[in-house]
Structure 1
Amino acid sequence: MELTFPYKQALQQEGYAIIDNVFNEEEVAGIVEAINNIDTSGTAFRKTSDLYAIRRFIKEVPAMAPLLFNSRMQAIIDQLFGNDYSLVKSIYFDKPGQSNWFVAYHQDLTISADQKMQLEGYEQWTVKNDQFAVQPPLSLLENIFTIRIHLDDTDENNGALKIVPGSHRKGIYRPETIDWSREKEVICKVPRGGVMIMQPLLLHASNRTVNNNKRRVIHLEFSNQQLPNGLQWAEYLAVNNFPASA
């Protein structure tokens, strides 16, 4: 899979890119079947009427990794990020058709770590269900890339992400300060089997579902950095360890 120049340019300038057909119908069906067979009794699993989520998704379900990192995904990582990038966070989201759950505009400002430590530049620690999150230095956030694998067709009617193009280049950008006379909003429609790539500092939001269609997304974050002073990523996987399938 050879990626053309506009994808990398869009990621740098706009903060996001959408690539169709990264997974074919058979591959998507295999991923969905594997998810449906997961034991969801652990603390990493959250299920309500509005949202079903699995945090540390690949760590909790390691058999998922070879299904996700096919040759096309590996090409995206190598060509758009670099061959030294590894997985550092994974979450599965299922926004049911009847969901009234929405997310206001925000940036993804935290990473997941294996423990809490007092480190310069690492602030606003939170702990929930033995999972540690912290806001790291801006330079680390600027170096992370996110891939969102879509298991359903997603548009403005079932909670597709809304984004503010270019906002990732403005540092910490508080949503309450968005000047809509200067900024624009884009709705990111992604077909089933496609991916949306974005940088965590890109302002993004999502609306409630209004058409009763599901929106299932696998959220993967990648970095080529190690954390300081013995602090470790809560989840870490070298994705080039998997043999590239078709």
Structure 2
Amino acid sequence: MNYLNKIDTEGFAIIDKVYNEKEINKIISLIENTTENTTENATFRKSQDLFAIRQFHKEIPKTLDFIFNQNLKDIIENTFGKGFFITKSIYFDKPEKSNWFVGYHQDLTISVDKKMEIENFENWTVKQNQFAVQPPKEILENNFTIRIHIDKTTRENGALKVIKNSHSKGILRIENLEMEDETICEVEKGGIMIMRPLLFHASSKTTNNERRRVIHIEFSKQELPNGLSWSEKDCIEN
């Protein structure tokens, strides 16, 4: 099935049953084996409200064989075509009693290998010794994100809230956005959510004592100008 029309119209699509129980358990096992045996790592962020792994596909590459099962590869190719590669990945683990929440925002930065003066690349930052920058909106408009749900995600444990079609309005300040079409994106365990980076999204605190684990992967097929490179680039095997 091609989900592109829904993604272009609303900014997102939810697809259930992309992974079976065995695949999810294998991904969980690989994550737990790595985190249990790692005492200190610059890409790991841990607090009482959140555990996160940046550059996830680099830190735990064995998960990729299970993440990119035939279902996911077919969805990507049938929806977007060929030639896309990973540009960024983050693992989020929101504990049962988490008070962590995120206000409405767009995903405006990409991870790159160095800092340099390039027209329309702005708002440079550094996180975990990695450069991030806001590229021209044309790059962001053509990228997409897939969120893989390791746990059932509901409004009670922090499912994303989105503003439908907000991705089509370009880069906006939140106060200039009409908040009229909010949707709660509940996703079953083993399902995915595909979204455009410019879609305004947020998440709330956990209220039902249920854990929420998500693998967030960003994709592009665009090369960057003037010798700038994607720092987390990893090609998808056919």
1:178 is displaced (CA, Å) by: 2.4
The residue that corresponds to 2:56 in the other structure is 57
SS at match of 2:215: strand
The residue that corresponds to 2:204 in the other structure is 207
Which of 9, 23, 27 is the equivalent residue of 2:23? Answer: 27
The residue that corresponds to 2:151 in the other structure is 152
Q: Distance in 2 between matches of 1:152 and 1:128?
A: 27
Whether 1:11 and 2:14 are equivalent positions in the alignment is no
Whether 1:227 and 2:208 are equivalent positions in the alignment is no
CA contact (8 A) 1:18 1:194 kept: yes
- AA of the residue aligned to 2:216: H
SS at match of 1:72: helix
Q: Distance in 1 between matches of 2:194 and 2:178?
A: 25
- AA of the residue aligned to 1:36: E
The residue that corresponds to 2:184 in the other structure is 187
1:121 is displaced (CA, Å) by: 0.9
1:20 is displaced (CA, Å) by: 0.3
1:72 is displaced (CA, Å) by: 0.6
1:79 is displaced (CA, Å) by: 1.1
Whether 1:240 and 2:237 are equivalent positions in the alignment is yes
CA contact (8 A) 1:167 1:173 kept: no
1:128 is displaced (CA, Å) by: 2.1
The residue that corresponds to 2:130 in the other structure is 131
- 1:60-85 CA distances to partner (integer Å, 9 max, x unpaired)? 11111111100011011111111111
Whether 1:70 and 2:69 are equivalent positions in the alignment is yes
CA contact (8 A) 1:22 1:72 kept: yes
1:173 is displaced (CA, Å) by: 2.0
Q: Distance in 2 between matches of 1:89 and 1:42?
A: 18
CA contact (8 A) 1:81 1:145 kept: no
TM-score (norm 1): 0.93
CA contact (8 A) 1:51 1:95 kept: yes
- The runs of 5 or more residues in structure 1 that have no matched partner are 242-246
Whether 1:161 and 2:160 are equivalent positions in the alignment is yes
Q: Distance in 2 between matches of 1:96 and 1:131?
A: 27
- The percentage of aligned residue pairs carrying the same residue is 55
Q: Distance in 2 between matches of 1:47 and 1:81?
A: 34
The residue that corresponds to 2:84 in the other structure is 85
The residue that corresponds to 1:107 in the other structure is 106
1:95 is displaced (CA, Å) by: 0.6
- AA of the residue aligned to 1:128: K
- 1:100-143 CA distances to partner (integer Å, 9 max, x unpaired)? 00000000000011111111110000012201110000100001
SS at match of 1:152: coil
CA contact (8 A) 2:24 2:150 kept: yes
Q: Distance in 1 between matches of 2:161 and 2:18?
A: 21
Which shifted more, 155-164 or 37-46? 37-46
